[in-house]
Chain A
């Protein structure tokens, strides 16, 4: 038996002692003068990071912040980043309304251009035990924490050999007197053995096994190794469904700081709750916790581990703990998407046991906004539209994904209404009919200067008269959403009003193979059918593909690689994986700008004009999309710095009975309005190869002075109209053998 138990002990101690779930961290919050600190929810971030408000700023303890009129001070903790360690620092922020007007290092008075807060926890990849721990080395643990634990749990730890006979006899006597089991005689080593190898069952046989294994552990391993294992193993509380293990994790959980920064009263509190982490929890039972903490402090004094002065000072400290911040649940779909993007060797076993730190691209503020907006807007839509009311388990679903178009970083991802009920991610796993959100790819193909030049310019007109095309499946007659035909319409209007017939005809003019090639180039990876109806979106694609393709347009024709993480770090071995910004030019910036200009028209005048009525100002481009039978409602839109896709529909084929502008657009509008504060920064840059020319809207000719109607239009250089507004045509006619320009110069020179 001893040989068998020895084998068990060695297997565990000489293998991986702990399975540590890998954590996913958000992109850091960056503070800088000019930032709207209320919009970025700075105080919320501080609280989630475990910072506690302090009544004074002098002195301001580590992990505390002090807010008073016009000033915010934050004693930021030191933190590690894959490429750089950020030191602890007191940040002084001068506030003017909701804006940070000045940012300084309070110690040196030096003005700072920018400062980081530590990344927030997005989530973790748990094993079946759902335990979370942060491994600590014994050298990192303050002496007073070790003293506190030994004082109350095993004061003769350094002297016994795994089993403390004196303590067992003492406990036996106490229990006999009490008439039941009131006191344990277990040493730290026995507790460790019990947690590692045995069941909680209380029997003599199990107790005997525990004692034998404790003796084996002590015989084989150093006291410090046993103590370190104990400090990392011990159960100390519950964060929702996650068990908090080890003093490292507990320090963050209770005090919002690393173990090395604990003060004596905090150490005593951790030692105090080992006996009953839930019954003595300082969150739910602060008085009991304080009583037990004081007992620990007294034991420490009795055993000569602290002096009377320290005892009195520590007992005077009230029990203060960080607010419990439940692990965010909004980002579960994102965690899955990230896992799928990691190389194959980061399988579930690695992610649930290796304790990796994954620095993600997620903007936790945008993620929370997205999750809240989706939940609230769907509830509102269900109330407003009887057709959307849940029937049994059938509920309308949604996806919202937001990217930074220049870098491809996923900033927010909501793959459905409730991850608990359905883990199917509708942003990255669901292929749905695209409908009209596909149309911009047709226009991009038409406007791109190919070998024979572009098919059309933005001044062109297209025919929206009834169309019938013969296909292998029989004749195909596209219909407009309003069941009307509109005759010859300006190209802009065809997209702004999302005319199906005009776009189907344009698809034929350009050629469906060219449309397919354009869509793939922009970022669509799903197979696309070579059928005429592709031009109006008869193709199943995922929202994330659409997000990428529109990001390419927003990014001036440079297609970004989608990124969910930046670095994967092993705390012991350093950076294992890095995902750099990758991008490739797939479309000239001139054509990309022309399509953006068309899509701005959709927002300003077309099917998405409701966006402006909601109060969103600044440069916004986008397209609504409603698939056949109104089964899918889409809105894909972008600003110079953000692209977002909203899809709404049922998982099973079922009509929504509503247009995208009624249900998908409001979700997008609210998300972007809240994300940007209602004012979109920047502008869509017009590249030098695009000329801005005033034209006569009726003819597309250049509008010169005196032309009765005019509007600005954009042209790739070399595609500008050569005709002029009709009223001026006769002036261009040669007279007396001289052209118009020559005559104009002569008049000008004569005036000189």
Chain B
């Protein structure tokens, strides 16, 4: 009888987790790096990713405007490429307009679905955007979560282009 009770109780605890809408980040999961997913998908996605990677290169070398243009070209080829939206969001949050960055981040989140590798970047960028928008009390908890999920990348509260590569 006690085994049955434990099973039912366990199920009761587990079900709400299943129902949770936002993918939970898992500590220890290696955070998303775009070079690892660049070869995936159909030809349009792969071409789009090559443009994203070119944009990250420009971004890393301090040519933000050029990078942004490359990400936009990537979206011309594949407007549903979540990684292009993520890269564009990163660029906007740290070097452009954080509010725009939040909108792009929302798009990336919707397209990424339940990819838990992306969680650290999604919550970290959200936190960084909120901080940039003058709302540190709202943003810091997200940054804190990102630090816990991916301490090496988010330890400094930033996501460099090279760290997204």
Contacts and interface: CB of A to CB of B under 8 A. Distances in A.
Given A581-B72, A581-B100, A32 B107 contact: no
Contact of A82 (B58, B69, B80, B107): B69
B79 A114 contact: no
B47 A30 contact: yes
Looking at chain B's contact residues, is the secondary structure mostly helix, strand, loop, or mixed?
helix
Contact of A558 (B8, B97, B103, B114): B103
A165 B50 CA distance: 65
B42 interface: yes
Contacts of A406: 75, 79-80, 107
B125 interface: no
Interface in B53-111: 53, 58, 63, 65-66, 68-69, 72-73, 75-77, 79-80, 88, 96-97, 100, 103-104, 106-107, 110-111
Contacts of B100: 580-583
Contacts of B47: 30, 32-35, 113-114
A34 B79 contact: no
B115 to A, nearest CB: 11
Nearest to A557: B110
Interface string A26-67: 011010111100000000000000000000000000000000
B51 to A, nearest CB: 6
A83 B51 CA distance: 14
A662 B83 CA distance: 41
Given A27-B76, A30-B47, A745-B8, A589 B110 contact: yes
A386 interface: no
A599 B3 CA distance: 49
Interface string A562-589: 0000100000000100101111110001
Contacts of A685: 80, 110-111, 113
A28 B76 CA distance: 9
Contacts of A404: 75-76, 79
Nearest to B43: A34
A30 B76 contact: yes
Contacts of A28: 73
Nearest to A640: B80
B77 A32 contact: yes
Contacts of B65: 83, 575, 578
A566 B72 contact: yes
**Counting chain B CB atoms within 10 Å of each CB, which of A33, A81, A114 scores highest?**
A114
Given A34-B42, A580-B68, A558 B21 contact: no
Kindly name the residue among B63, B96, B107, B111 whose own CB sees the greatest number of chain A CB atoms within 10 A: B107
A32 B107 CA distance: 25
Given A113-B46, A580-B68, A717 B21 contact: yes
Q: Which of A112, A581, A640: most chain B Cβ within 10 A? A: A581
B72 A717 contact: no
A113 B72 contact: no
B164 interface: no
Contacts of B22: 688
Contacts of B77: 30, 32, 114
Interface in B18-54: 19, 21-23, 42-44, 46-47, 49-51, 53
Contacts of A4: none
B107 A558 contact: yes
Nearest to B53: A113
A614 interface: no
Contacts of B114: 688
Nearest to A99: B43
A682 B110 contact: no
Contacts of B80: 406, 640-641, 682, 685
A178 interface: no
A244 B47 CA distance: 38
B44 A681 contact: yes
A407 B75 CA distance: 8
A294 to B, nearest CB: 46
A113 B43 CA distance: 10
Contacts of A566: 69, 72
A79 B161 CA distance: 27
14 contacts: A27-B76, A30-B47, A33-B47, A34-B47, A83-B65, A113-B53, A405-B79, A580-B96, A581-B72, A582-B100, A582-B103, A681-B42, A687-B110, A688-B21
Lowest 8 CB-CB distances: which A-B pairs, in order? Answer: A34-B43, A113-B50, A32-B47, A406-B79, A83-B69, A83-B66, A583-B103, A689-B21
